[in-house]
Amino acid sequence: MNFVEKCILVGFALAINSWATSAPLTSTTDDAVPENVLNCATVMFSQPSVKFMHKLRPSDPSALLSVKDLPEGLRWNSRRNLVEGSIDKEGEYGYTIVVVHDSDTVEVPVSLTVSSALQQPVPFMGWLSWNVVQSEISSEVVRTVADAMVESGLADAGYKYLVIDDLWHAPVRELITGKPLPDAAKFPEGMGACADYVHSRGLKFGIYSDAAEETCAKAYGSYGFENIDADQYADWGVDLLKYDYCGAPAERDSALVRYKAMGDALKATGRDILFYMCEWGERQPWKWGTRTGATCWRATGDTRDGWRGKDGGVGIVESVAGMKDLWPYSGVNRFNDADMMCVGIHGTGKSSNDLVESPGMTMTEYATQFAIWCMWSSPLTLSFDLRNPINPDDLALITNPELIAINQDRMGQAAEFLFENSDGVQLYAKDLENGDVAVAVLNMSDQPHPFTIDISEIPALESGKSYHVRDLMKRCTLPDVINRMEAGELAPHETRVFRLSER
Ligand code: GAL
């Protein structure tokens, strides 16, 4: 930890001791904000002339919020506690959140970067090798999967990143230079040629490493070799690095230092390499991930191919528990990642079969997984075996353009989790750039339940107004609604998503 980081931490520790401070905080990092003041991001990003939205959440709902020093183009929406608008000119901007609690006032600085060259303006979409391929990864697999991504229409639907996960490595690095080497039997043509092939198909190429001596599967990691590895990745033409955390120290401060070392090394290459952190949400990376140069971070453990995990496994139930309240920390260029989707695996995976009662899900459950990942603005990563023909129902689900459009919405809002009712039905709403709102109802229970959407319970909508409704799962238009909308009877584990546009 350097001196500046130590000062921030000391300031942070002092600030959380009491509300009785009227001195403004000086640091614009998410983790400098005392937890008893705000529970939302303060390091924000936007694209020029694209609508921006920043929802503020006080830790104590009775605290009063306002903002000051807003740059031109942005306004304060006091009814919804959010900043909205758009800024045309690229640059570094800022404003101040004023939180009043009882008679105490805390001022929290926000930084806003407006740029047309953001690393991840919308969540990335692609395929990762881990869940089904594991140690069988090879350049032959990469070529076959690249071809399948293009020929199946997945690439046209937006799935552009082909990411090789763990176990691409030679047993050791190049002896003299320390450069990373791929396994020569798996990648006889070398990694650069493999990346070239992926690029020749109009796709992007991602690779995997770890912030310790060894990766999770015991290949060599990048700790101490960050610059050498980043330079080599750039030479190979790598476009994304998934950076894991097995074998590294548990504390958050070490994780910050180790991730930042790699983030800095990637930046120094001058190549646009998307930096994807994978420490499973254990140290709340949504509060410090932007400081490392990363633009998305895993928020949960590894997803398993089942509705409910067992012995600590992450099925859909556990993904929902881990993700639903993190939405105030998501935004453009800072996405919470819910891990690879298991849609399409149907119980035929490798690690995705562990820690789950009986691997495989129903189509209703896979549809819920896809829909809710879209609502959360999670990166959309497939992990089923693209060496085999794709089941047409799976393909229709994962290429549904209306669901993908809400995931890829340029305002980058994660769906706000509104509540779960006594039947176990959850309600989410996602603000979209054109003013529409995507509303999802998710039946977490094992019983069917009817559900009526009450417009007055959704802050993004207004009672008394008439809304045009698209059913995004069934892809049809429904009758207009005012005040209430019947979502129908939801089967166990079913999700329905509607897009409401003001008339
Ligand atoms: C885990 C990671 C998985 C996969 C695996 C490879 O830590 O969460 O997604 O990358 O390592 O060994």
> In the prediction, which pLDDT does 21 show?
52
Mean pLDDT, 10 residues at a time, over the chain (503 residues)? 39 44 80 93 98 97 97 98 98 97 94 98 98 97 98 98 98 98 98 98 99 98 98 98 98 98 98 98 98 98 98 98 98 98 97 94 98 99 98 98 98 98 98 98 98 98 98 98 97 98 96
Cα-atom radius of gyration of the chain, to the nearest Å? Answer: 23
Q: Which of 137, 163, 165 to mutate to test the pocket of ligand 1 (most atoms within 8 A of CB)?
A: 165
| Contacts with 377 (C-beta within 8 Å, 6 or more apart), sequence order | 123, 330, 335, 336, 407, 409, 412, 413, 414, 415, 430
> In the prediction, which pLDDT does 458 show?
98
Phi, psi of 159 (to 5 degrees): -80, 95
Q: Which of 127, 129, 130 to mutate to test the pocket of ligand 1 (most atoms within 8 A of CB)?
A: 130
> In the prediction, which pLDDT does 24 show?
80
Nearest to 388 by CA among 347, 343, 340, 345: 345
> In the prediction, which pLDDT does 492 show?
98
Phi, psi of 353 (to 5 degrees): -90, -10
Q: Are 394 and 341 in contact (CB under 8 A)?
A: no
The β-bridge relationship of strands 380-382 and 240-244 is unpaired
Distances (CA, A) of 452 to 132, 190, 466: 39, 57, 16
Q: Which of 167, 216, 305 to mutate to test the pocket of ligand 1 (most atoms within 8 A of CB)?
A: 216
Structure tokens at 157: 């639907």
> In the prediction, which pLDDT does 380 show?
99
The minimum-distance atom of ligand 1 relative to the CA of 244 is 7
Q: Which positions are annotated as active-site residues?
A: 244, 302
The minimum-distance atom of ligand 1 relative to the CA of 280 is 8
> In the prediction, which pLDDT does 357 show?
87
* Binding pocket residue ranges, ligand 1, CB within 6 Å: 130, 165-166, 215-217, 244, 246, 278, 302
Q: Amino acid identity of 319?
A: S
Does the CA dihedral 225-228-230-236 come out positive or negative? negative
Q: Amino acid identity of 496?
A: R
* Farthest-apart Cα atoms in the chain, separation: 72
3-class DSSP state for residue 56? Answer: coil
| Ligand 1: centre distance to CA 193 (Å) | 25
Nearest C-alpha to atom 8 of ligand 1 is from which residue?
302
Nearest to 366 by CA among 395, 335, 344: 344
CA distance 337 to 474: 26
Nearest C-alpha to atom 4 of ligand 1 is from which residue?
130
Nearest C-alpha to atom 6 of ligand 1 is from which residue?
166
Q: Amino acid identity of 121?
A: P
The total number of residues shown for the chain amounts to 503
> In the prediction, which pLDDT does 160 show?
98
CA distance 286 to 40: 9
pLDDT in tens, 205-235: 999 999 999 999 999 999 999 999 999 999 9
> In the prediction, which pLDDT does 13 show?
41
The minimum-distance atom of ligand 1 relative to the CA of 245 is 7
